[in-house]
Structure 1
Amino acid sequence: MGKESGSDGDKDSDDDDSDEDEEEEDEFPVSHELIFKTHERPVTTITLDPSGTRLVTGSTDCTLKLHDLSALTPTTIRAFKTVDPFQTKPSAAAESHSIHQVLFSPLSGGQFLVITANPQARLFSRDGDMISEFVKGDMYLRDKANTKGHTSEVTSAAWHPWNRDRFVTAGTDSTVRIWDVNKRMKQEEVIVHKSRAAGSAGMTRMTAIAWGPAGDGNSSIIVSAALDGSLVMWSGEGPFHRPKGEIRDAHAKDTWTSGLDISADGRLVITRGGDDTIKLWDTRKFKSPLNIVSHASISSQYPTSNIKFAPNSSSVITGSETGHLHILNPATLRPELVTPVTPGSPLITVNWHPKLNQIFTGSANGQTTILFNPNLSTNGALTILSKAPKKRHLDDDPNFTTDMDPLGMAGDTVELGGKPGPTPGSFAARHPTVGLTASGKSRDPRRPHIPATTPFAKSTPDERYVRENIELSSMRDEDPREALLKYAPKEGEKNVFTGAWDKSQPKPIFKDYDSDEEEPDAKRAKR
């Protein structure tokens, strides 16, 4: 009897545990998943616009993938555009760098920032067109405060919490730079981080940066992490000559702190270090961590592995080397839920969208996963799955597709002597040279002529470049006479500029000619 009652008790306890697990899962949007096979190499960064309709992913394959979530269907889950940030300029056709970070503007969503493994940040429109490329500094200048941009690789960036025109970047040149999106030729502010580590000569690499609201709610703060193990906090609105707070040994020296985030109220900072720890900090007492937990780091292999607060700061999410998503309690840093996403493949980047209430993850196997809950989430993956699968059209089968010749005339091909050729008697057979260039390539008469780009045209600045990047260039369109007459005194006003000569100025006397008097010979000769 006792054994039977004991077994019944075990069953009851098992049922209670399973009920608790189900309740925990219901609290977070992780009950369902939608998989995107976006890249062939590890996904290093994920960003979404504020509305949650445009998804951009970056990878170590040096490309960006743009997805329109509102237009996808269950059978057409793929990117509508692939962008290589370095293929936008012909002069950099052979250059490529892995993508470190992609960040949509948190307010407008009309543009996103791209950070690659080189010294220049790039700004793109939401459709993948490059808007501007920010300047690179002179690497031969010893004083980094006098350079116009980063002199070595940029590792991380962050947007201003409420100013859509400002963002900050951190680089391996031991500087933090604040930029204006409308001024690409020089940064607004330069903060040179002086390392106190022995043997570093005052220089270290900045590994991560975040820009968020301050705890008082009236200003913002910038927090950055460095390779020397330090964690530094500045006031986001200045002054920048000295930090607001600094912790020298926040993490172990010479370990890469890859994850850094600020809570929504600006009172907490979470860091994920390369020393296999996650630490929680209070911005009001920026001296020692509030809590520390052990968590295996993958920053040595994937330096963009991040950690994020939930939109309401009620949870903390991060990935692991085993491919699991960890949802932590922000007070104790203990896991509230651990769920597998890509078992056996490290989970590199995570993003919790506030409007969709869905979690987006990127893994080392090139997979992007959307975790959601139909009862808690809205739009996004739910919109995709609610659509009927796209029906296959007859023209999608290549066996029933008719090829088009250069003039747009349909014609089937036949085998002539073992080689494909035009059908005898067809237009292509009767006019073999029509629609072909001298070298035998196809020429489509419907396509407009595109002028060849010459080396001279590449280096010649256009009107927009002159207007935006050359100071006082607008003076070329001014009338100099009108510009001077602006300073002419009005009637009754004192002549400020030339009033000193009003009394001493000699009166000009000109010779008057009568109508009958002849003009001088010299004047007549000129005519």
Structure 2
Amino acid sequence: MSDEDEDLQVEAPDLAEDDPMRAFLPASFGKRSKDTDVAAQMDRSRRIVDQNRAQVVKPRDRSQGSGSNLSSDSDGDSHDSSDDSDDEDEYPTSHQMVMKTHDRAVTTLSLDPAGGRLISGSIDCTVKLHDFSSMTPTTIRAFKSVDPFESKRSAASAEAHPINHIEFNPLAGGVFLCVSAHPQAKIMSRDGNVLAEFVKGDMYLRDMNHTKGHVSEVTTGAWHPTDKNICVTAGTDSTLRIWDINNKRCQKEIVVFKSKAPGVAGRSRMTAVAWGTAAQGGSNILVSAALDGSLVMWSGNGPFTRPTAEVREAHKPNTWTGGIDISSDGRMVVTRGGDDLIKLWDTRKFKEPLVSVEHPSTSREYPMANIKYGPNSTSIITGSRTGHLHILNPGNLRPEYTTPITAGVPLITVNWHPKINQIVTGSANGEMHVLYNPATSTKGAVDVMSRAPKRRHVDDNPEFTTDMSLGLSGESIVTPGALSGARRTGGSGRLKDPMKPQVPQQTPFMRSQPDAKHISENIPLSRMLHEDPREALLKYADVANKDPMFTNAWKETQPVTQYAEVSDDEEGPDKKKTKR
């Protein structure tokens, strides 16, 4: 290298340190790699909750009396905002990931045992499958949408069945139970394929013990706690049916519930069912609720000819008890009824509830609203009509933590996964919220928010994508209407109605089609499409009489029609005489 090369200097613009033009000047040569700021992405997903709307009850207040009213919790009376950080560490509710993949209310959801796959059901009659491993902050969507009864629906039929309940097998996460508003439940794989469809019973048989399957709508179901091949379904035909998923032609056991309430003729709809594990080596328990208000418990290992215990009018009759769950030790049962009450029961003294508190119910609009025990049964979670998530004490049902999820929109279904320590909720507006805490939660939404944002491809469908690129990457281009909240039709400005068929947009190929004038002038006989056939035939009536084409050979031998001459005064053969 010569001395002249060493003396060469590159002239750079003389800019001040605070000049904004420096942001557009390159700092180095070659391709620059962008590192994802994980901490910044996590901070953007932090939930911004108004402290006046979130209620926190300190742990020392948990031992107070049990007569609590949860309806006042949703109004948002703040007790102490100084302990919010402690509660965020205790409960995984500090951050959230919003998923908008359904068009209508989300009625049920479930996570596989590993916590890597989420399935959800809705009133829009579809099951959505989500995989956390394939999501990024800009591609939060379902990888598959399944209609369980699409193969049975004809092209002219508008029959559809909302999804009532879906649940992964806790012992074998490769399959899940799918229950819709139909007499036949299905066993589906984790990829959305139908593996088995249980048989439908004979609806003309009066005795339900002789039918091979449900004869009316199935409301819910549950898996056996220790046998991966056994599940139970509850139906509106007043029966519980235990199935072996390897034998879909007939149920393994049938439990017929005989209601003792007056005026129901011995039958009542079964609204909820739960199958609990054994307590200290005892037998499993099977608990179910009926529309007549009864709460019935059977021995999970059989026989099922007579219930072990039964509570009449456990909830108000003719109100839908949709939420029921059993604690991990099999001793406690919690129920949420349509009478705006949550009750706690002891299986050893199954006569009166231990605790009963008020809670606004959503069973009138959404009867599948549930209530679930948290990990190790240390908490109870449920939603409310006002869109709040309630975390209750399992001993006295007092609210320990209340936070708004979808304020003003009912929160229907909740689930707290013990392995990844994340809470998933489903609301009536079609949104699902995955609540987590980066310090205590693992995998799931934590991994999604830790990945680099994916650039949107031209083939990506914005209808199934939650766009967060505005807050994550300044170089991303967002087209008008690409945001999930701006789903509008053509130029009308009205929101899409999921019940109406969508009108296809006019493509360039359709615009290039020839007009009607060109068709009428250049295509022979094209005008006959708009011509009245009767008038066209009458034009040739005189020609057919003068020069018949088909009857000309025997024209001379045709018979002559002769009519009798009848005057006006005479009665012809067709005239009837007037009766006097």
TM-score by length of 2: 0.65
**DSSP-derived class of the 2:375 partner:** coil
Q: How far 1:416 moved relative to its partner?
A: 11
Partner residue in 2 for 1:113: 177
Go from structure 1 to structure 2 and tell me whether the alpha carbon gap of 1:420 and 1:320 turns closer, same or farther (over 3 Å shift): same
Question: What amino acid does structure 1 have at the position aligned with 2:107?
Answer: T
**Using the alignment, how far apart are the partners of 1:41 and 1:392 within structure 2?**
26
Partner residue in 2 for 1:123: 187
Instruction: Answer yes or no: is 1:322 the counterpart of 2:415.
Output: no
Instruction: Answer yes or no: is 1:37 the counterpart of 2:130.
Output: no
Alignment of 1:116-515 (within 5 A): 116-392=180-456, 419=512
Alignment of 1:13-32 (within 5 A): 17-32=80-95
Give deviations 1:179-209, integer Å, cap 9, x for gaps.
Answer: 0001101000111101000011100010000
Does the CA contact (< 8 Å) of 1:319 and 1:326 recur in 2?
yes
Go from structure 1 to structure 2 and tell me whether the alpha carbon gap of 1:93 and 1:114 turns closer, same or farther (over 3 Å shift): farther
Give deviations 1:393-437, integer Å, cap 9, x for gaps.
Answer: 57879xxxxxxxxxxxxxxxxx9997279xxxxxxxxxxxxxxxx
Instruction: Answer yes or no: is 1:62 the counterpart of 2:125.
Output: yes
**DSSP-derived class of the 1:361 partner:** strand
Q: How many residues align?
A: 391
Question: What amino acid does structure 2 have at the position aligned with 1:76?
Answer: T
Does the CA contact (< 8 Å) of 2:411 and 2:428 recur in 1?
yes
Mark the runs of 5 or more structure 2 residues left unpaired by the alignment: 1-77, 462-507, 515-580
Give deviations 1:488-519, integer Å, cap 9, x for gaps.
Answer: xxxxxxxxxxxxxxxxxxxxxxxxxxxxxxxx
**Using the alignment, how far apart are the partners of 1:91 and 1:268 within structure 2?**
46
Go from structure 1 to structure 2 and tell me whether the alpha carbon gap of 1:258 and 1:90 turns closer, same or farther (over 3 Å shift): closer
**DSSP-derived class of the 2:273 partner:** strand
**DSSP-derived class of the 1:201 partner:** coil
**Using the alignment, how far apart are the partners of 1:330 and 1:51 within structure 2?**
25
TM-score by length of 1: 0.72
**DSSP-derived class of the 1:70 partner:** helix
Question: What amino acid does structure 2 have at the position aligned with 1:108?
Answer: A
Partner residue in 1 for 2:139: 76
Q: How far 1:96 moved relative to its partner?
A: 1.6
Question: What amino acid does structure 2 have at the position aligned with 1:42?
Answer: A
**Using the alignment, how far apart are the partners of 2:510 and 2:332 within structure 1?**
77
**Using the alignment, how far apart are the partners of 1:352 and 1:395 within structure 2?**
35
| Cα RMSD after superposing both structures | 2.2
Go from structure 1 to structure 2 and tell me whether the alpha carbon gap of 1:120 and 1:338 turns closer, same or farther (over 3 Å shift): same
**DSSP-derived class of the 2:96 partner:** strand
Structure number with bigger Rg: 2
Go from structure 1 to structure 2 and tell me whether the alpha carbon gap of 1:387 and 1:254 turns closer, same or farther (over 3 Å shift): same
Percent of aligned pairs with the same amino acid:
62
Q: How far 1:26 moved relative to its partner?
A: 1.9
Q: How far 1:389 moved relative to its partner?
A: 0.4
Does the CA contact (< 8 Å) of 2:391 and 2:402 recur in 1?
yes
Question: What amino acid does structure 2 have at the position aligned with 1:222?
Answer: L
Question: What amino acid does structure 2 have at the position aligned with 1:370?
Answer: V
Q: How far 1:38 moved relative to its partner?
A: 1.6
Go from structure 1 to structure 2 and tell me whether the alpha carbon gap of 1:337 and 1:165 turns closer, same or farther (over 3 Å shift): same
Does the CA contact (< 8 Å) of 1:86 and 1:92 recur in 2?
no
Does the CA contact (< 8 Å) of 1:87 and 1:93 recur in 2?
no
Q: How far 1:70 moved relative to its partner?
A: 1.0
**Using the alignment, how far apart are the partners of 1:18 and 1:110 within structure 2?**
43
Question: What amino acid does structure 2 have at the position aligned with 1:135?
Answer: V
Give deviations 1:106-126, integer Å, cap 9, x for gaps.
Answer: 111111111000111011111
**DSSP-derived class of the 1:339 partner:** strand
Go from structure 1 to structure 2 and tell me whether the alpha carbon gap of 1:88 and 1:68 turns closer, same or farther (over 3 Å shift): farther
**Using the alignment, how far apart are the partners of 2:90 and 2:403 within structure 1?**
13
**Using the alignment, how far apart are the partners of 1:419 and 1:40 within structure 2?**
34
Instruction: Answer yes or no: is 1:48 the counterpart of 2:104.
Output: no
Go from structure 1 to structure 2 and tell me whether the alpha carbon gap of 1:243 and 1:418 turns closer, same or farther (over 3 Å shift): closer
**DSSP-derived class of the 1:25 partner:** helix
**Using the alignment, how far apart are the partners of 2:153 and 2:206 within structure 1?**
31
Go from structure 1 to structure 2 and tell me whether the alpha carbon gap of 1:172 and 1:419 turns closer, same or farther (over 3 Å shift): same
Question: What amino acid does structure 2 have at the position aligned with 1:36?
Answer: M
Go from structure 1 to structure 2 and tell me whether the alpha carbon gap of 1:43 and 1:393 turns closer, same or farther (over 3 Å shift): closer
Question: What amino acid does structure 1 have at the position aligned with 2:113?
Answer: P
Go from structure 1 to structure 2 and tell me whether the alpha carbon gap of 1:49 and 1:16 turns closer, same or farther (over 3 Å shift): closer
Bigger relative contact order, structure 1 or 2, given CA contacts below 8 A and separation 6+?
2
Q: How far 1:218 moved relative to its partner?
A: 3.6
Q: Which 4+ stretches in 1 moved above 6 angstroms?
A: 394-397, 415-418
Q: How far 1:216 moved relative to its partner?
A: 3.3
Q: Whose strand proportion is higher, 1 or 2?
A: 1
**Using the alignment, how far apart are the partners of 1:220 and 1:380 within structure 2?**
31
Question: What amino acid does structure 2 have at the position aligned with 1:161?
Answer: P
**DSSP-derived class of the 1:23 partner:** helix
Go from structure 1 to structure 2 and tell me whether the alpha carbon gap of 1:416 and 1:129 turns closer, same or farther (over 3 Å shift): closer
**DSSP-derived class of the 2:263 partner:** coil
Give deviations 1:2-46, integer Å, cap 9, x for gaps.
Answer: xxxxxxxxxxxxx99332233123210001111000211000000
Does the CA contact (< 8 Å) of 1:86 and 1:93 recur in 2?
no
Does the CA contact (< 8 Å) of 1:177 and 1:190 recur in 2?
yes
